[in-house]
Amino acid sequence: MPACFVANQARAQQIPYASGQNVVPVYEGWERNPDGSYNMVFGYMNRNYEEQVDVPVGPDNMIEPGPADQGQPTHFYQRRQEFVFKVKVPKDWGDKDLVWTLAAHGKREKAYGSLMPIWELGPLVYLENRRGAAFLTYPEEPNKPPTIEVVGSSMRTVTAGEPMTLSVEISDDGYPKPRPRPARNINRERARDAGPAGIRAQSPVSQAVVKLDPGVRLGVTWVLYRGSGEALKLAPMHAPVVNAGPAGSDNDAITLKGKASTNVTFGEPGTYTLRAYADDGVFTTPADVTVTVSPKTTR
């Protein structure tokens, strides 16, 4: 095969698409629960650089065996989103597969979850994927996931176009402790990750929607989990709760806690699920709020 043909074919495979591409479900691995059961953890890859895709639960967005709805998202942010949701399976699950099927833009994909030992997730897997191998420590830090609780009811009603404030209270064990980071050029990083021009430099960490801003030790990310996002506004999407102190300050692993709020406005009536992820930089813990949005009243 001529070298020029191979080169042209490789370039063609790297063409970034703003829209029109499908979403690929991804099996991340499994976790052990104290009661002997297991969590199977999934994420996804939205092949689009700009388009956010909506796929309602049903034949095109289903998990089996069992009911089609097992807590998976129906709104998919662009690019690679890791560790998005978990499905709990019993301790006698055995060697069966848990299959997540997604179909969008005419293409159907499946992710197969199993309890094979090679797929077991541990703290180091989360740390390397969400924070980077440069933050590995020895001995390993005794990090535990943060806790999160919705302030008020997790079931809300509002009128389209009317702003609503949502709040959560979160706490954490103070791990991982902040570590010095190399100097960063934020403008250069944003330009690199902004879209198709940065295709070769992007990584799952840089593409992630759920992540802490630089200098934040504990924070919350709000996302649209279910429902159409075309006319939805979240401000802010990322809310810092505890910032890291300046270089040389006391950043011991003490209990961290605080409150985070966001203002949300729905442009269209319907039922939406918003998910807040408490984030310590390695582990996340979700909490959901379901909002029923009624049409604007006319006089």
* Residue 176: Cβ-neighbour burial (10 angstroms; 0-12, 13-18, 19+): buried
Cα of 47 vs its chain's centroid, Å: 15
Please state, in angstroms and rounded to a whole number, the distance separating the CA atoms of residues 278 and 210: 9
pLDDT at position 43, please? 98
Looking at 36-40, 50-54, 125-129, 223-227, which range is the least confident one? 125-129
* CATH code, 143-294: 2.60.40.10
Average pLDDT score, the chain: 88
pLDDT score for 131: 84
pLDDT band at 58; cut points 50, 70, 90:
very high
pLDDT at 167 over 70: yes
CA distance 90 to 118: 19
Query: Which tokens hold the place of 169?
Result: 């209270």
pTM attached to this predicted model: 0.87
* 79 phi and psi angles, rounded to 5 deg: 70, -160
- Is 97 in contact with 112 (CB distance < 8 Å)? yes
